Amino acid sequence: MPRRKRTAGSSSDGTEDSDFSADIEHTEAAESVHRRSSTRLTRASLRLSQSSQDVKQGVDRDETPPRTPTGNAPSSESDIEVSSPSNDLEDERLAKELSLKEAAAHDLSHRPKRRRFHESYNFNMKCPTPGCNSLGHLTGRHERHFSISGCPLYHNLSADECKVHASTRDKQAEERTLSHRQDENRHSTRNQAPTDRQLRYKEKVTELRRKRNSGLNKEQKEKYMEHRQNHGVSREPLLENITSDYDLELFRKAQARASEDLEKLRLSGQVSEGSNMIKTIVFGRYELDTWYHSPYPEEYARLGRLYMCEFCLKYMKSQTILRRHMAKCVWKHPPGDEIYRKGNISVFEVDGKKNKIYCQNLCLLAKLFLDHKTLYYDVEPFLFYVMTEADNTGCHLVGYFSKEKNSFLNYNVSCILTMPQYMRQGYGKMLIDFSYLLSKVEEKVGSPERPLSDLGLISYRSYWKEVLLRYLNNFQGKEISIKEISQETAVNPVDIVSTLQSLQMLKYWKGKHLVLKRQDLIDDWKAKETKRGNSKSIDPTALKWTPPKGT
């Protein structure tokens, strides 16, 4: 029985043809007839044939014509033997494997379309420059931008002009690299004389700076004033003729380089330009992930990461600035009066009127971790009570709460925060307990200002539960009054009732409200109290404080 031969044909337009003739006669007869048979080879079988042909060519060292750009070999030289039907399954499996490899190398038409933009781009983001469509980039290397630093329109350029400038900078960089390689061949000495090329370049720069205009003419001044009136601060001022072309070009290069560095940081997740969301802060020896937006100035918010002094709370842009600041910062604890100290725990009372900058920075820091906070800059009517933990380097911020100097609703807390690195360690309850201790000294009944955050509500519920169970455990009488509990604990009666209801200890029976003393809850609380110990508790005797008399 004669062996069957297949001919790999190609379409007239140069693309692959999925139908191939199967003829049992000679290949030349198949070319002349060129009819479509019912026997068809799949695209994968064709690639298998191509691979088998490559192997055969490698063994026999035949000099055959090269493949066509579409991946097909010329039909007159590509006849190969077809395997028997018993090997069809194996051939099919090999064909699938080879098809994936061949598709990547030859079949360009079946490649997935490349994404035009980086996958991390958020297309809901827009450039803040008025009238900008977010296309192009100052560096000329990106298709989109979302910040002023990369906006061509803000810099009075177009996207095409930025690309032209980028290609010019690349050529200059190549020339500079080549000249540096030539200079490396010279013998290096400590006091090496400049080369002829360097001397010529210096003369050229001097000549360029000498040629610049000494001032602006009337038309240029009018043009600059019109540009400023039309765009204000939404566009960069016109910079032509202000300095020499050489210095202006240096400035443009520096702008493009800074924009490229910011883009790299943004793609790596360290910068979140466009969203003005600070993702992380470096605070002392901790790096903290933020939870919410805080209204820091835009030049700081767009960086994505802030560096803070943990003592004076000053915020900075870089690690270098922070390191220099720490070398000369004289603060080792919050400003104000230390009104409580026990062990290494201290509480400082800070007046928002006397230490305005510190309190504003504290509010901005707190907003990164609080959702409902609205106080940022108007800090003068408030007192801030800052809790710290001391070691040999200073007093480290643990948390704080603020309260109004004159609250008509007797709120003893306006805002309360425990720093994330100190959460779930008992410091939140200490802050709450301290706020109620101040209310007891003032002989008032206090309550936190609403609305409470989710974590704040959980903390207060836990504290009120603990206070009530302790009171009921020590109570020996038969009749109990909500008012008496409120006066002794300084907790608002509304908060006491809501807590009793959540514990299912308040019942209505025969026209009266009864408080049930659930011994199971009291026993559980006593067991936890014994296990926890008294390490995280407020000692009233350590408080040295007199209520302020109006401010």
Q: Which residues are catalytic?
A: 449
Q: Cα separation of 177 and 389, whole Å? A: 55
Q: Cα separation of 312 and 310, whole Å? A: 6
Q: Please list, in sequence order, all residues whose beta carbon lies within 8 angstroms of the beta carbon of residue 104, skipping any fewer than 6 positions away.
A: 111
Sign of the alpha-carbon torsion through 15, 21, 22, 23: negative
Amino acid found at 127: C
CA Rg value for the chain: 39
Preceding peptide of 451 cis, ω within 30°: yes
What backbone torsions phi and psi does residue 499 show, to the nearest 5 degrees?
-70, -40
Q: Which residues pair with 73 in a beta bridge?
A: none
What backbone torsions phi and psi does residue 352 show, to the nearest 5 degrees?
-65, -20
Q: Cα separation of 471 and 436, whole Å? A: 15
Q: Cα separation of 454 and 129, whole Å? A: 37
Q: Cα separation of 472 and 499, whole Å? A: 13
Per the structure block, which two tokens stand in for 64? Answer: 């055959």
Q: Cα separation of 470 and 464, whole Å? A: 10
Largest CA distance in the chain: 116
Q: Residue 168 half-sphere exposure, CB side, CA atoms within 13 Å?
A: 11
In angstroms, what CA-CA distances link 392 with 233, 322, 389, 419, 522?
48, 20, 10, 20, 41
Give DSSP secondary structure letters for 331-385: -SS-SSEEEEEETTEEEEEEETTTSHHHHHHHHHHHHTT-SS---SS--TTEEEE
Q: Cα separation of 4 and 84, whole Å? A: 10
Q: Cα separation of 21 and 494, whole Å? A: 90
DSSP state of 10: B
Grouping H, G, I as helix, E, B as strand and the rest as coil, residue 208 is helix
- What is the C-alpha end-to-end distance of the chain, expressed in Å? 113
What dihedral do alpha carbons 335, 337, 341, 343 form, nearest 10°? 30
Short-list 516, 413, 493, CA closest to 457: 413
Grouping H, G, I as helix, E, B as strand and the rest as coil, residue 145 is coil
Q: Cα separation of 340 and 542, whole Å? A: 6
Q: Which residues pair with 282 in a beta bridge?
A: 287, 307
Which residue shows structure tokens 């720490």? 326
